[in-house]
Amino acid sequence: MDVKALSDELDRMIGEGKILEAFDRFYADEVVMQDNETPPRMGKAASRAYEEQFVAAVKEFHGAELRATAATGDVSVAEWFFDFTLQDGTRVRRTQVAIRRWKDGKVVHEKFYYGS
């Protein structure tokens, strides 16, 4: 399966709210994940723990829109718009870009760019 097809399937699962299932399926054990310029999370266990905390922090999910995608070589890019409410009542509407590097059908590096 090529990177574009893998990325499309990953994005489809995210859009369906299957964030943790997608993570388990598509991310390598040695994955490195980073949000903006924060310190990177090293490895699948640390990265999944972070994803679990995010999912638990969401009280209500209002929607997601995949606005653009691209892939070339071993890199894919996805631009998302997310709308959700956190457990504390804060409503978050955010555009986020994910840049993913793939190896052997798995994401080995992902960096997210978004405003505060």
CATH number of the domain that 82 lies in? 3.10.450.50
Amino acid at 61: F
Q: Which domain holds residue 103?
A: 3-114
Residues 6+ apart with CB under 8 A from 50: 33, 41
Query: Of the candidates 46, 82, 43, 38, which has an alpha carbon nearest to the alpha carbon of residue 64?
Result: 82
What pLDDT, on a 0 to 100 scale, did the predictor assign at position 116?
67
Domain count, the chain: 1
pLDDT in tens, the chain (116 residues): 799 999 999 999 999 989 999 999 999 999 999 999 999 999 999 999 999 999 999 999 999 999 999 999 999 999 999 999 999 999 999 999 999 999 999 999 999 999 86
What pLDDT, on a 0 to 100 scale, did the predictor assign at position 1?
74
φ and ψ at 5, to 5 degrees?
-65, -40
